[in-house]
Amino acid sequence: MVKRTFDLVVAILALVLLMPVLFLIAVAVRLSSHGPVLFKQIRVGRGGRDFILLKFRTMSVRAGSEAGAFDAGDTSRVTRVGAFLRATKLDELPQLWNVVRGDMSLVGPRPEVRMWVFVDKNRWSMVHSVRPGITDPASLVYRHEERYLASCPDPETTYREQILPRKLDMYEAYVRTRTFAGDVSILWRTGLAVVGGLLREVVGRPSIEADRPDDRQDSPCCGQVSTRQGPIPR
């Protein structure tokens, strides 16, 4: 009850305070390319129930992209405005409305499309015992995931075999050990990461190497040969 009340108060307050920013982003998205302002996609939430996740649209419209197509490594359709929104994570702001609706929490495991839930239903059943969130520890570790996948020859295989299992480890750890104080800490760290992203966009875009996952356990993209000496830590 405390978590839900906190989520509701913070989400409503943020939506009110950020209204000018949301409006400016909406106008920029609308002018950047043909298509709707919001990207809507069915994700799997608490109890395994589907809900419609909202984001600011960052890519040019293509049939099927809202049905669960894997686009993480596809940067060819990302608009200039979309690239900025992705780099700064401002494209996630509409999910504050998902929080108000009760679909999501501010902090919790990130929701996936059903195709990834089918990969390991048993592990996801535990993850789906709580509301999905806008941010979580895995979001901080893999905050440059899309740029990293774009550098891989087979983004989908890399995500399925390397990134998703590690995310599930972190999701399960969060569900087992979550506390209100821990959620506040994650929100604070997320805020710092967003500010850092904004600053990086102002001073210049980082290299792909800087965009690798930050768990320091990242193995090469699937299909690439490792130049790392010694065993990869697990």
Count of structural domains, the chain: 1
Residue 196: predicted pLDDT: 86
Residue 62 lies inside a defined structural domain of this protein: yes
Strand, helix or coil for residue 114:
helix
d(CA 82, CA 121): 32
Tell me, yes or no, whether 54 lies in a domain.
Answer: yes
Q: Within a domain: residue 217?
A: no
Note whether residue 178 is domain-resident: yes
pLDDT of residue 152: 87
Contact 212, 144 (CB under 8 A): yes
pLDDT digits 0-9 by tens, 93-131? 999 999 999 999 999 999 999 999 999 999 999 999 999
Q: For residue 60, is it within any domain? A: yes
Q: Output the pLDDT for position 217.
A: 47
In a domain, 225, yes or no: no
* 11/146 Cα distance (integer angstroms): 26
Domain of residue 49: give its range. Answer: 2-211
pLDDT tens for residues 157-200? Answer: 999 999 999 999 999 999 999 999 999 999 999 999 998 888 88
DSSP structure class, residue 72 = T
CA dist., res. 47 & res. 57, Å (int): 27
pTM, full prediction = 0.83
